[in-house]
Structure 1
Amino acid sequence: MLASKCRGFVPCSIIFRNMATVKRFYRRTNILSSGGKFEITLDQRKLKTPKGQIFEVNSKPLALAVATEWESQGDIINRGNMHLTALCSTALDNPHNHNKLDIVNYIVNYLETDTILFHSADAEELTKLQMEKWDPLIQWFCDQYEIDIVKTNSIEAPVVPLQTKAVLTRHLSSYNFEAVQGFMYAVDTLKSVILPLAAVERVIGIEEAVRLSRLEEEYQISHWGNVEWSHDLSKHDLQGRLAAAILFIHLNSSSSTSQPKSNSSSIVAN
């Protein structure tokens, strides 16, 4: 079921990782203001998207953040850690021609597979840990949006009433296309809808959101050990992706508040 939902939604980070590695070909970065939009330059050349469009954003802070990603590259450009660049390029090129409602529906339907709604029925200690750490956020989610949802203790999907989906659809639809792209990136990163929403509303921080998304894995590690470098690398990668997504959402949103909304690629330079 999940595979059918995800078909056609290729995370922009995967697109970037699949591009050829290139050596750094510029000395310095800068931003230009043009018609109310902001462009990034590499030396005297304008940054472009994978489809050849001029790379431009509506937010000066976002342009500065993207320029910083390029400025921080070493001798080899590592596109795999340029998450803001990838998010902007995906929003500009829209390679799969999705509209905002397509993405909103993807996120809303993902709620049926939300990591923190699946509680263990086998390990009592793990179940208690999940109840302690996850239940308060599930309750926050229900209270914040005045909806109902029931977690599950089996492999069956949790019950997500149609009214819950309708409320969440209205909330997400109140954001612009770019911000909704950011939400999708965050959801794919954490395998959760509730955790990114809580992070956007500053209920939890980035590190806590990642820690909660990995709760079962951390529990298993505490009992069986881990390959330390691999564990840390994965954790920091998730934190970087989520931080970029949350920043992208905020910098593209002029109406994001702590209250629910009303119900009424690789880049080249020429």
Structure 2
Amino acid sequence: MTEWKAKRFWKTASVAEVEGGFRVLLDGRGVNTPGKQPLIMPTRAMAEAVAAEWDAQEEEIRPLTMPHTRSANSAIERVTPQLEAVSEMLLGYADTDLLCYRAEGPEALTQRQAAAWDPVLDWAAEEFGARLELRTGVMWVSQPDASIAALAKPLRAVAPFPMTALHDLVTLSGSLVLGLAVAHRHISAKEAWRLSRIDETWQMEQWGADEEAEEAAAIKEAQFLHADSFWKFCQPN
């Protein structure tokens, strides 16, 4: 049986300001989410990015080439109804933050981790009043309650659309601190991704590259950089 594929049915994609934000129009008709909700976005820049993805479709619609559209759909259908739960889930990363778990050795690796990660932890302590403690090895030890509470404050201030981006910044890097550092423009997304890969880079230097692992990492990096792009489009001009 031949697989059914959605075909392009419109000539032009445009953006219109509507109640509650901005909406993409296909030949004058508003785009909906897969769940049939109006795809209304908080900024014109985001709507224009989504419109450009629709405009770039040729004969067949290829959802994988429409990352901003997919993120906007997720913001409306998945994040908005459970914003508090998403926030709490991300807060859980503070208790297991990648930047806090240090290798027992060798010394060259521990020094590299400290040089890369300590400044970001210091920033979080200064910016949010959240001093996270370092751990050695992989055994979990909870962080101070006061530090967790301090990190909860900036999380609870995030609206559904930017929360969609922050979710990926945190989960892909394994670090709430790195995700917040990118969101607050303390470091670039590329630098944050590099910092999240300190251990993997070290292993590659010692034992050589693994082609399959590199391909998987490249996919995650692209997703991480997209999340940063989506976060930027969420911000008002």
Q: TM-score, normalised by structure 1?
A: 0.75
Are 1:125 and 2:108 counterparts? Answer: yes
Note closer, same or farther for the CA distance 1:69–1:235 as it changes in structure 2 (3 Å cut). Answer: farther
Hey, what's the Cα distance between the residues in 2 that align with 1:21 and 1:236? 30
Contact 2:24–2:31 at 8 Å: present in 1 too? yes
From 60, 77, 81, give the equivalent of 2:44: 60
- Aligned with 1:187 (options 170, 179, 188): 170
Check if 1:247 corresponds to 2:229.
yes
Correspondence 1:144 to 2:127: yes
Matched AA of 1:30: S
Match of 2:153 among 170, 177, 182: 170
User: Separation in 2 of the partners of 1:151 and 1:201?
Assistant: 23
200, 208, 215: which one pairs with 2:198?
A: 215
Deviation at residue 143 of structure 1 after TM alignment: 1.6
Contact persistence 2:43–2:235 (CA under 8 A): no
Is the contact between residue 91 and residue 152 of structure 2 (CA under 8 Å) also seen in structure 1?
yes
Change (3 A) 1:153 1:65: same
For residue 239 of structure 1, report the CA deviation from its aligned partner: 3.5
Q: Which runs of 5+ in 2 are unaligned?
A: none
Aligned length: 234
The alignment status of 1:94 with 2:78, answered yes or no, reads: yes
Post-superposition shift, 1:158? 4.3
Q: For residue 102 of structure 2, give the secondary structure of its aligned residue in structure 1.
A: coil
Question: What TM-score, normalized to structure 2?
Answer: 0.84
Structure 1 residues 125 and 230 mapped into 2: Cα distance closer, same or farther (>3 Å)?
A: same
The question of whether the paired residues in 2 share the 8 Å contact of 1:149 and 1:159 is answered with no
Q: Is the 8 A contact 1:206 1:239 kept in 2?
A: no
AA aligned opposite 1:150: E
CA–CA separation in structure 1 for the residues paired with 2:125 and 2:94? 13
CA distance in 1, matches of 2:145, 2:121: 17
Q: Distance in 2 between matches of 1:75 and 1:115?
A: 44
- Equivalent in the alignment of 2:144: 161
Q: Which region of structure 1 is more displaced relative to structure 2, 135-144 or 240-249?
A: 240-249
The one of 46, 49, 62 equivalent to 2:33 is 49
| Alignment match, 1:84 | 68
Matched, 1:111 2:94: yes
Deviations for 1:143-193, whole angstroms, at most 9, x for unmatched residues?
Answer: 211222112112122441111111111222122232223211211121111
In the alignment, residue 99 of structure 2 is paired with which amino acid? I
Tell me if the contact between 1:147 and 1:167 (Cα under 8 Å) persists in the aligned partners.
yes
The one-letter amino acid of 1:178's match is F
Deviations 1:103-125 (A, max 9, x none): 22111111122222211114332
Q: Name the Cα RMSD after superposition.
A: 2.8
Deviation, 1:242, is 2.4
- Change over 3 Å in CA distance of 1:149–1:159 after alignment to 2: farther
Higher helix share: 2
Alignment of 1:28-39 (within 5 A): 28-35=12-19, 37-39=21-23
Any conservation in 2 of the 1:21–1:76 contact (CA below 8 Å)? no
The amino acid that maps onto 1:215 is I
- Who is 1:17 aligned against? none
Measure how far apart 1:82 and its partner are: 3.2
Identical columns (%): 23
Indicate if the aligned counterparts of 1:210 and 1:239 stay in contact, CA closer than 8 A: yes
Query: CA distance change for structure 1 residues 147 and 222 in 2, over 3 Å: closer, same or farther?
Result: same
Please state how far the C-alpha of 1:22 moved relative to its aligned partner.
3.8
Q: Distance in 2 between matches of 1:151 and 1:21?
A: 53
Cα displacement string for residues 29-85 of structure 1 (whole angstroms, at most 9, x for unaligned residues): 322222352222345553221211121112100101112233344665443453322
